[in-house]
Amino acid sequence: MSTRPRRPWRVVLESPTGSSPEAEFTSEAKTYEHVRAELRKAEAGETETTAIRINQWSDGRWWYFETIKPGELS
């Protein structure tokens, strides 16, 4: 089994031009703080983000956790 990474949460921003580099976080709270900030930017038209994909490290590998699109969280 692989060692748990120091930052077990990953966020990838999707846009018409492709995916962003992964941003990694130490907790779920910090992950969603970043997600909310990116959603505000997208909803204000400051970025072209169309979806935000979240992955979590568990059981020795990265797992898909959730995808959020601008406008879904209020």
In a domain, 29, yes or no: yes
In a domain, 24, yes or no: yes
Indicate the residue type of 39.
L
* Domain around 40: 9-68
Per-residue pLDDT reduced to its tens digit, 33-54: 999 999 999 999 999 999 999 9
Number of domains into which the chain is organized: 1
**What is the DSSP code string of 23-46?**
EEESSHHHHHHHHHHHHHHHHTTS
State pTM to two decimals.
0.89
Phi-psi label, residue 60: left if phi above 0, alpha if psi -120 to 50, beta otherwise: left
Q: With the C-alpha atoms ordered 31, 36, 40, 42, is the resulting torsion angle positive or negative?
A: positive
In a domain, 64, yes or no: yes
Per-residue pLDDT reduced to its tens digit, 58-72: 999 999 999 999 987
Residue 35, Cα to own-chain centre: how many angstroms?
A: 6
